Amino acid sequence: MMFLLHTLMRNLKKLSDHGLPILVVGILLVLVWDPVAIWVNSPAAERLLERGTADCQTVIECARQLRNPIVPSLGQLGRGLANMALPLGSTSTVGYNALITAAETLVGLGLALVVGFVSAVALVFSRAFERMMLPWIVASQNVPIVALAPVLAVLLGQYGVQGWLPKAIVAAYIAFFPLSVGIAKGLSSVPPLQLDLMRTYHAHPLQVFYLLRIPAALPMLFTSLKISAAMALVGAIVAEISIVSFSGLGPMLLSRSYYSDMVGLWVIMLVAAALGILLVQGIGLLEKGLMGWQNRP
């Protein structure tokens, strides 16, 4: 009985630590969404009532039924999501295109992790590399993605690289900087006493790297990885818009914007936000699995 009670309390603590805050914020967002939508859409609803062209009787009713609302009501969002999510097997659904964008984001994040780790190691162990390359690494992040993506697509297209890979490279480009700086900070955060102890034991530099620097860098690595995941998602969507694409959330945003479909735009933005939350939460679960030893007594 005590074991079952202990297990239940531990699971409730896990829920409160991870799932409950997100659930609470989601519930609060749902509660305030319709009042905010009515408030924002009320001026347009009042104009429709004054013209006598509305099919509704009150401002509140009209604010919830505008054809192109500034902020759609929950009912409009639900109907819009249903229309864009069905049929399930179609390549034009928001679910299929979200998977395409997620794949590009994950590949870009993986590339950014590799490049960021290599550059971080070089920054930590080579002062010459740091003085020579760090200003250029910082300057590279000031190039607008909208300008970079088409140039990169043309450049890679000359070598036959097309499809989703250029978008993943753009996502990696925007995501590698936080990883590089964060990993470098983590690798440099080993306490001097521990380094002196390893030297006393005549440890090989590789042993110092794997036994001290890598564990010390893990907290900063996962923090930077969460930031980079959100940035990679934005980079992938912007690349889909800037490069000629026929699948992904970027082309869907572009087409809905062209037809002034505000409900569709909101649905896609909320799906992209949910995708970002899933990516960050997934990294958080990976962090908990790999770093659970730090919380053990």
How confident is the model at residue 2, as a pLDDT? 46
Quote the CA–CA distance of 191 and 81 in Å, as a whole number: 52
Domain spans, the chain: 2-71, 94-295
Strands (E) across 220-286 are located at none
Crossing angle for the helix pair 127-140 and 165-187, to the nearest 10 degrees: 140
Which segments of the chain does DSSP mark as H helices, in order? 2-14, 20-51, 59-63, 74-85, 94-125, 127-140, 145-157, 165-187, 192-200, 205-208, 214-242, 249-258, 262-290
Q: How far is CA 122 from the centre of its chain?
A: 27
What is the reported pLDDT for 266?
93
pTM exceeds 0.75, yes or no? yes
pLDDT per residue, tens digit, the chain (297 aa), is 444 444 545 554 554 455 667 777 778 888 888 888 889 988 888 888 777 766 777 888 888 888 888 899 898 999 999 999 888 778 889 999 999 999 999 999 999 999 999 999 998 888 888 888 888 888 877 878 777 778 877 787 777 777 788 889 989 988 999 999 899 988 888 888 887 777 787 777 787 788 888 888 888 999 999 999 999 999 999 888 888 778 899 999 998 888 888 999 999 999 999 999 999 989 988 888 877 655 544
Q: In this predicted structure, what is the pLDDT of residue 20?
A: 67
Distance (Å, rounded) from C-alpha 110 to C-alpha 107?
A: 5
Superfamily of domain 94-295 in the CATH hierarchy: MetI-like (1.10.3720.10)
The contacts of residue 177 (CB under 8 Å, 6+ apart) are 116, 137, 138, 140, 141
Tokens representing 227 are 């930031």
